[in-house]
């Protein structure tokens, strides 16, 4: 059973969230990112190469986490798969679009987090110098 969130169920919060989402969707940068991702998704060969690369990467991470030694052959296979994937014309724009979307999401989440910490809308100065603001309790 999903727990209800007290603030999120109030329509002004949901309305403003929907407005934020709509604003994001209307940004030219978002439209370019979406186009780059869609071009990649329509390229079956690039998708298959990406899936293979991800599988190889997961296997190498698992092996490393288990303390096993990664052989030169395994590293070479990964590097070859990576080079093959990156040679696809849709690969780099796809990766860059994903990174950009993640950065936007992180920035929005940081604003929300700082709002909770500070008890007010954060200002640009609240993000300077890596300080977490006064509301977190680390300032004496």
**pLDDT value of position 133:** 47
Q: Structurally, what CATH architecture does the domain formed by 11-117 represent?
A: Up-down Bundle (1.20)
**pLDDT value of position 13:** 84
Can you tell me the mean pLDDT for 20-47? 96
Percentage of the chain beyond pLDDT 90 is 78
The answer to whether residue 5 scores a pLDDT higher than 70 is: no
Buried b (16+ CB within 10 A) or exposed e, 41-75: eebeebbebbebbeebeeebeeeeeeeeeeeeeee
pLDDT in tens, 70-82: 999 999 999 999 9
pTM of the model: 0.73
The answer to whether residue 21 scores a pLDDT higher than 70 is: yes
> CB-based contacts of 42: which residues, under 8 Å, 6+ apart?
none
**pLDDT value of position 128:** 85
**pLDDT value of position 8:** 60
Q: In this structure, what token pair is assigned to residue 28? A: 């030219």
Give the count of beta carbons closer than 10 Å to the beta carbon of residue 88: 17
**Helix runs in the chain, H state only:** 11-26, 28-42, 44-65, 72-86, 91-118
Phi, psi of 123 (to 5 degrees): -100, 165
The answer to whether residue 130 scores a pLDDT higher than 60 is: no
Residue 34 or residue 8, greater confidence: 34
**Domain spans of the chain, in order of start:** 11-117
pLDDT in tens, 37-53: 999 999 999 999 999 99
> CB-based contacts of 128: which residues, under 8 Å, 6+ apart?
none
């Amino acid at each position: 059973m999903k727990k209800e969130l007290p603030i999120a169920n109030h329509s002004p919060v949901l309305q403003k969230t929907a407005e934020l989402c709509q604003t994001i969707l209307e940004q030219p940068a978002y439209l370019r990112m979406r186009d780059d991702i869609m071009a990649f998704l329509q390229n079956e060969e690039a998708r298959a190469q990406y899936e293979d690369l991800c599988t190889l990467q997961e296997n190498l991470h698992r092996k490393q986490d288990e303390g096993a030694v990664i052989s030169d052959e395994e590293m070479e296979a990964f590097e070859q798969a990576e080079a093959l994937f990156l040679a696809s014309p849709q690969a780099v724009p796809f990766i860059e679009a994903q990174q950009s979307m993640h950065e936007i999401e992180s920035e929005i989440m940081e604003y929300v987090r700082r709002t909770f910490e500070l008890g007010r809308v954060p200002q640009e100065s609240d993000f300077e110098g890596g300080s977490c603001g006064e509301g977190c309790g680390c300032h004496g």
